[in-house]
Amino acid sequence: MARIFAYIVHKGGVVDDSAFELAAAARKIDAAASPTAILTGWGADLDAACKTLGASYPEIWKIANEALTYPNAELVRKALVKVLPSGGIVLVPHEHFGIDLAPGLSIKMNSAFVSDVLDIVGVEGANLKVVRQEFGGQVSAHVRCDISSGAVVTIRPGAFKAVEITPGGGLVVDKSPDVGTLAAGRRYLETVVAEAGDVDITKYNVLVSIGRGIQEKDNVAIAQELADALGAAVSCSRPVVDAKWMEKSRQVGSSGKTVKPKVYLACGISGSFQHLAGIRGSPFLIAINKNPKAPIFQVADVGIVDDILEFLPELTNKVREMRSVA
Amino acid sequence: MKLELRNSVEVNVEILVCVRRVPDTSENEIELNSAGNDIERDELVYSINEADNYAVEEALQIVARVGGNVTVATVGGEDDEEVLRREMAMGANHGVMISDEAFSGSDGKGIATILKAFVQKGHYDLILTGVQAEDGGAQVGGMLAALLDYPFASLVNSIEVLEGKKLKVSREIAGGNKEMNEIDLPCVLSIQTGINEPRYVGMRGIRQVAAIPIPTFSASDLGLGANAVGETAAKVKRVDYFTPSLGKGAEILRGSREENIDKVLELVAAKGGLK
Amino acid sequence: MEGIQSAAQVTSWLVTGRILFLTIHLLGVVCFSLIVAKRLVPLVRAERDFRFDQPWVRLGRVLKFWLGQWKHPRYKLAGTLHIFIFAGFIVLAIRAFSVLIIGVSRNFVMPGLSGRAGPIYDIITDYAATIVFLCMVIAVIRRLVFKPARYAVPARYGKAHTADAIFLLSLIAILMVADSLFAAARAAAQSQSSQSVEVLAAFSLPWVLQKALVATALPILGGLYFGAYLVHELTFYFLLCYRPFGIQFHVETSLFNIYFAKLDREILKPVRWGVSDEHLDQVKSFGVKTFEDFTWKHMLDFYSCADCGRCSDNCPSNAVGRPLSPRFIGIKARDYAFQHYPVLGRVNNGAALIGSKDSGSIYSEDEIWSCTTCGACEEECPLLVEYIDKIVDLRRGMVDEGNVPQSLQKPLKALESRGNPYGKMEKKKAEWANAKEFQQTCRVKTLDNRNGAETLYFVDSITSYDNRMQSIGRATAKILNHVGENFGILGAAERDSGHEVRRFGEETLFMALRDHNVDAIQASGVRRIVTADPHAYNALKHDYKDVPPVEHISQVIAREVKAGKIKFNPVENESSVYTYHDPCYLGRHNQIYDEPRHVLDAIPGLKRVEMSHSRDRSFCCGGGGLMLFYEPKEDQRMGVKRVKMAAEAGANVMVTACPFCMVNIEDAIKVAGMEGKMTAIDLAELVDQQIARECPDLKEEQATEIKECVTASSNRPG
């Protein structure tokens, strides 16, 4: 069985949740797997991140290089190519860094590539069988990947339940000397922080979240009224921002904010993974959508097939009634 | 469209945009066919992959600012010519069809290999792709860059041409933040939707470019052997399509609207959602 | 014999009056001619426009709209004032000529007025001058004191036009006074010497002045006489040469503008006159992008605008704060023409009309997309200025450049691939009719090789696909069934009528949709078309050629009610007060106002009120077709204003006969917070609900094909 590596995303000494999800994926590829965590970075933050993984991974490869202080995928790839043995399976989270790193890595490692994996069926001979989605999540597909010369696999964040690999151990192996100097045709300049909107949706316990089903800008008021009645905030999915019906600061998703509310009302949201990726902490998810086949109903706790433009105002009225009586 | 010059650099950038014809995302109902092994393809309407369209618009805006040419290319067959024509109607100077029976069944790496061979036949300063297509692979751009040994950036949502064969690009990262990078030309960028507002192209525009010849490049034109591309070379293959059983999923409330509302409020309160 | 010298004889500074006035005449006429020639320059470079057909019909319209001032009374006070002023000018025209020539030939008398007609004419003109003078005074007071809202100039369009208006009104007043003083001084002098005194009309301005001057010394009278004449001449020629620099140019251009006005308002301007559809591919550029792309008649429209503001006063877009004001579409273009084709100086042109102000553009994109083509502006304009064609032409230009708002690109793309703006599948177009329960009560057949029919029910996109509007489709089908109509639908073969596609400037896509529909209609072999969608009605009637005659369902119902084939149950809810909202494309564009009202009035116990803006003054609901997808910048929704008008009229049920009106009104009821206080129902739905269903006299063949419908109560819209 090929060796499995998990690329760990970390920031400010804190390890991303995906680290433990990758461990779960590794276990699904090979139940007896002993995956190696691999981290790049520099200084105290890198060391702290490595330490956090102590209980979860038996072996941790550390690549410390000043050029990698900021994770520039072009440089990280060059470093990994120098360090990773051929033929292994490299797991990477499917988010903005993984998308940047993984395809090129597979070419340089001369291994196969399969992205955005939701589930792993198992190894059949020289092939790894996985589950992916297509057409914005409307259909699923089984995909076979020839791993005989290794593979780079990106894993959908949140698709696998986080696990710790027992026994842990956390043996840190410093692979930095193998890397040497790093240079690439792309240089990181700075990060421009998105303008803070008036409302910070990450601070709310209840979110009324709207998607394309709200149909037009004027209808956003319908969601706002419900949010006001509940003491919640209105958040949204990407199409609503693209259509300029709400500010970017309200977007929940992989390219928006990550939220951890207690209750999440998904109104007229189809449930694309990029959106769901922004919902962490397993809130109670209520989905209201006209389309009974919307993917959101697969991940929601409670679902209602109804027209949000009619359902929400009535819900708002009921909330107000309750509040006035209370 | 008349665009204001954002920077006064007259550079002349040769841009190649790799595009793909896909089933339209909003004008189709994607369902499994009766055999249950593929999607129902009979009544699908096709269009250019949305992200690719943004990429072409971005390319057109770049050359409007700094000079140059835009070439659109696709790996496909006769049916795919219509998206090339559409992008040429939008303003692309050249359209190229890369077609050969040997290419069918190629996986992502196969496509990237084919495109690499094409790129090396010409001279392009900048290569753009959409960030992903309907299969959500998000791979061809990154693979192409690695095969060519060009620097790469994905999820690009703004491009500025600098002097000295460089670009300043921003990438879309978590929280709506932008990661600013400087990248050397020649390079490959994968373009995120929403980077610009693509201009409209109608039937009239396509008719006006209907007679412009679109050259075709075959495997032998590109010097590609059968072992590098196509079905036999593919390491990744789709086995089937299926819709997952809704075993674990939402508990669908089946009462009247009033009953549903009451239940929802009950649950919200129970989960600590009502203060 | 003493008296005062005629103006021709007076000598000042070595120049006799005759020479002086001859010079003034010459200068004035030459100046005016040069100015008019310069004003014609852009028209000569403009696109062609075929306006020379049917001269007798055109002359008839000149009599009605120009001489008859037909549209003016729509605004009572201003209209009356203008009628008086206009009549006064017409009457004074001949006098003006006489007066001019007197300066050169002192004994000149107009041919035909030397006998008894002369003094009678003089009396009429005395009163005319008086009335015009009084009208000027009233007009100035209106402008300065009452300031009617429609004259106001919003800040973004520049400074107010009041000063210029007062200036012109004052000059006309001065002209009247000078003319009157001239006659008064002469009459006063005649009464002092022993010449025969010409009679001045009692209590007219000249008469009043004469009474004031009766004792004035002769030399002073002479001076006043000559001075008044000079002032008259100078003012006359100043006005003549000044008018082409502003809105007063309409004095000269109005006759031509009305003569050349469009005969059939509903036929949209073709992309290029003289180029048939098949040859359009050869046209390099579609639409209006620069000023010269306008036709000469449209440029004449710009010159002829009198800045009265009636168009914008009735424009629904303007009323809700969208960036569109039809008045300024014209004024800005006119100013552009004056600036780029100056009387003095070089022509400089070619700037894009639509774009940013910095690059010299005069229109913004939103301004042009904001128009719902409701036609209220054209209905009001006393000069028959055409607005819709210009908006459509400007949109054609933007579409040609690819400059289409993102919100419209999706439905346009869907129309191209699926034939409807929602992107829904063609095979689902007839689903509204195939619902199981409905099929049992009312079979709707789809026309194909096996099934034919006499009549086609053209359903169009929104009624076919929108969950709410499908009930209009079902109601219409049931009504057709009830009256024994042998009808069918095209089903998957039907494409969107393309009505808004054309009006949003996508002519090529429109033609594709139209040609497909025409083929399908002709193949079906039907001899009549019925539709419940006024936009489809308008398209089939005016935009489509070679299709059978089309009717709107309200016309069918009205006829059947009259013939006794439809009888109604009385209204159940006693507290319902109904009002009918005229859809723009049924009412104003096609003059179908009465039939829907007859239908409503035939329902026993139905209480009906009229809104203040009804019939040809109906207020647009917000627009249909592609307009439902456009995201305008506005202060309020048109629908909300309309719903409030209904409430003001005392109604709690709005009846309309258009699915787009229904969308906008039902939406507006929610947005305005009037749920529970106002409902909306379509005419077909109401009729279906109220029809008294006994067995009609069915012929044998019909009975086998048509099933009886169950009572309407189970189908009341929810």
CB C599 within 8 A of CB C559: no
Distances (CA, A) of C605 to C72, C571, C572: 38, 6, 8
- Mean pLDDT value of segment C668-674: 83
pLDDT at residue B189 is higher than 60? yes
- Residue A295: per-residue pLDDT: 83
- Residue C540: per-residue pLDDT: 98
Of B73-82, C179-188, C204-213, C701-710, the least confident: C701-710
Domain with CATH 3.40.50.1220 in chain A: 201-325
pLDDT at residue C363 is higher than 80? yes
Mutation site for B-interface testing, chosen from C412, C465, C508 by largest number of B Cβ within 10 Å: C508
* pLDDT tens column, B158-177: 999 999 999 999 999 877 78
Distances (CA, A) of C473 to A37, A142, B246, C409: 63, 44, 36, 27
Please indicate whether, in this complex, the C-beta atoms of C631 and A313 are within 8 angstroms of each other. Answer: no
What's the token pair of residue A174?
Answer: 């410093």
Q: At what angle do helices A96-108 and B108-119 cross, to 10 degrees?
A: 70
- Residue C95: per-residue pLDDT: 82
| CB-count exposure of residue C280 (10 Å: 0-12, 13-18, 19+) | middle
Please indicate whether, in this complex, the C-beta atoms of A216 and C670 are within 8 angstroms of each other. Answer: no
Q: Please report where in the chains the tokens 């990438």 appear, as a residue.
A: B171
With contact defined as 3+ CB pairs under 8 Å, the chains touching A are B, C
What's the token pair of residue C347?
Answer: 């022509």
- Residue C524: per-residue pLDDT: 95
DSSP annotation string for C667-696: HHHHHTT-BTTBEEEEHHHHHHHHB-----
- Torsions phi, psi for A248 (to 5 deg): -60, -30
- Torsions phi, psi for C677 (to 5 deg): -105, -20
pLDDT at residue C158 is higher than 50? yes
DSSP annotation string for A56-120: T-SEEEEEE-GGGSS--HHHHHHHHHHHSPTT-EEEEESSHHHHHHHHHHHHHTT-EEEEEE-EE
- Torsions phi, psi for C133 (to 5 deg): -60, -45
Strand partners, B178: A192, B172
Looking at residue A180, what DSSP letter applies? -
With contact defined as 3+ CB pairs under 8 Å, the chains touching C are A, B
| Selected residues 151-210 of chain C with any CB under 8 Å from a CB in chain B | none
3-state class (DSSP) for residue B173? coil
Q: For B2, name the nearest residue in chain C, comparing CA atoms only.
A: C355
B46 in A contact zone (CB under 8 Å): no
CA C262 to chain centre: 11
Question: How many CB atoms are closer than 10 A to CB C338?
Answer: 19
Strand partners, B39: B32
**Of A161, A76, A79, whose CA–CA distance to A120 is shortest?**
A161
If phi > 0 it is left, if psi is from -120 to 50 it is alpha, else beta; for residue C600 that is alpha
**End-to-end alpha carbon distance in chain B:** 53
pLDDT at residue C280 is higher than 60? yes
User: What residues of chain C lie within 8 A of the CB of A224, using their CB?
Assistant: none
- Mean pLDDT value of segment C557-580: 95
CA atoms within 13 A on the CB side of C671: 22
Question: How many CB atoms are closer than 10 A to CB C561?
Answer: 20
B259 in A contact zone (CB under 8 Å): no
Please indicate whether, in this complex, the C-beta atoms of B43 and C413 are within 8 angstroms of each other. Answer: no
- Residue C1: per-residue pLDDT: 32
What is the CATH topology of the domain spanning C577-715?
A: Rossmann fold (3.40.50)
Question: How many CB atoms are closer than 10 A to CB B35?
Answer: 8
What is the CATH topology of the domain spanning C406-562?
A: Rossmann fold (3.40.50)
Interface size, chain B vs chain C, as Cβ–Cβ contacts under 8 Å: 63
What is the CATH topology of the domain spanning A201-325?
A: Rossmann fold (3.40.50)
Chain A: nearest CA to C670, how far in angstroms? 10
pLDDT at residue B27 is higher than 50? yes
The shortest CB-CB distance from A217 to any of C406, C631, C670 is to C631
| CB-count exposure of residue A183 (10 Å: 0-12, 13-18, 19+) | exposed
**Residue B275 banded pLDDT, cuts 50, 70, 90:** low
Q: For B140, name the nearest residue in chain A, comparing CA atoms only.
A: A103
Please indicate whether, in this complex, the C-beta atoms of B253 and A184 are within 8 angstroms of each other. Answer: no
| CB-count exposure of residue C41 (10 Å: 0-12, 13-18, 19+) | middle
Better pLDDT: C92 or C1: C92
pLDDT at residue C707 is higher than 60? no
**Of A269, A214, A262, whose CA–CA distance to A237 is shortest?**
A269
* pLDDT tens column, A114-131: 999 999 999 999 999 999
DSSP annotation string for B50-114: HHHHHHHHHHHHHHHHH-EEEEEEEES-GGGHHHHHHHHHHT-SEEEEE--GGGTT--HHHHHHH
What's the token pair of residue B61?
Answer: 């805006």
Same fold, C277-400 and C406-562: no
User: What residues of chain B lie within 8 A of the CB of C416, using their CB?
Assistant: 202-203
Mutation site for A-interface testing, chosen from C407, C628, C670 by largest number of A Cβ within 10 Å: C670
Chain C: nearest CA to A270, how far in angstroms? 17
- Mean pLDDT value of segment C79-106: 87
What's the token pair of residue B238?
Answer: 């789709």
CB C687 within 8 A of CB C475: yes
Strand partners, C47: C295
pLDDT at residue B247 is higher than 70? no
* pLDDT tens column, B104-132: 999 999 999 999 999 999 999 999 999 99
B210 in A contact zone (CB under 8 Å): no
* pLDDT tens column, A243-262: 778 888 899 986 778 888 88
Chain B: nearest CA to A28, how far in angstroms? 19
Looking at residue C526, what DSSP letter applies? -
Please indicate whether, in this complex, the C-beta atoms of B138 and A262 are within 8 angstroms of each other. Answer: no
From the candidate CATH numbers 1.10.260, 1.10.390, 1.10.1060, 1.10.3470, the one assigned to the domain spanning C277-400: 1.10.1060
pLDDT at residue C714 is higher than 60? no
Q: For A310, name the nearest residue in chain C, comparing CA atoms only.
A: C670
Q: At what angle do helices C162-192 and C218-242 cross, to 10 degrees?
A: 150
Share of chain C above pLDDT 90, in %: 72
- Mean pLDDT value of segment A153-168: 82
Please indicate whether, in this complex, the C-beta atoms of A218 and C407 are within 8 angstroms of each other. Answer: no
Distances (CA, A) of A47 to A54, A164, A173, C17, C120: 11, 19, 11, 108, 112
What's the rounded Cα separation, in Å, for the pair C77 and C84? 11
Question: Which stretch of DSSP H or E encloses residue C434?
Answer: helix C431-434
What's the token pair of residue C584?
Answer: 């723009």
Q: What is the ipTM of this complex?
A: 0.89
Q: Please report where in the chains the tokens 């036009």 appear, as a residue.
A: C161
**Of C211, B154, C64, C233, whose CA–CA distance to A100 is shortest?**
B154
Out of A211-225, C186-200, C351-365, C380-394, the most confident range is: C380-394
Please indicate whether, in this complex, the C-beta atoms of B143 and A257 are within 8 angstroms of each other. Answer: no
Please indicate whether, in this complex, the C-beta atoms of A284 and B236 are within 8 angstroms of each other. Answer: no
Mutation site for B-interface testing, chosen from A101, A156, A302 by largest number of B Cβ within 10 Å: A302
C401 in B contact zone (CB under 8 Å): yes
**Residue A293 banded pLDDT, cuts 50, 70, 90:** confident
CA atoms within 13 A on the CB side of C352: 15
CB B226 within 8 A of CB B232: yes
Please indicate whether, in this complex, the C-beta atoms of B137 and A315 are within 8 angstroms of each other. Answer: no
- Mean pLDDT value of segment A296-317: 91
Domain spanning B13-233: CATH 3.40.50.620 = yes
- Residue C550: per-residue pLDDT: 98
- Mean pLDDT value of segment A135-163: 89
- Residue C223: per-residue pLDDT: 87
Domain spanning A4-178: CATH 3.40.50.620 = yes
Question: Domain locations in chain C?
Answer: 51-245, 277-400, 406-562, 577-715
The shortest CB-CB distance from C508 to any of B28, B91, B202 is to B202
**Residue B248 banded pLDDT, cuts 50, 70, 90:** low
pLDDT at residue C293 is higher than 60? yes
3-state class (DSSP) for residue C632? coil
DSSP annotation string for C248-297: GGHHHHHHHHHHTS-S-TTSPPPSSTT--GGGGGG-S--S--SGGGSBHH
What's the rounded Cα separation, in Å, for the pair B128 and B172? 16
Angle at B119 between CA B117 and CA B120, to 5 degrees: 65
The dihedral formed by the CA atoms of C450, C455, C461 and C462, expressed in degrees to the nearest 10: -130
What's the rounded Cα separation, in Å, for the pair B26 and C422? 9
H helix count then E strand count, chain C: 29, 11
- Residue B176: per-residue pLDDT: 74
Question: Domain locations in chain B?
Answer: 13-233
Which residues have a Cβ under 8 Å from the Cβ of C397 and sit 6 or more positions away? C285, C286, C287, C288, C289, C293, C353, C354, C505
What's the token pair of residue A72?
Answer: 């520039």
Strand partners, A122: A129
- b/e C192-224 (16+ beta carbons within 10 angstroms → b): beeeeebebbeebbbbebbeebeeeeeeebbeb
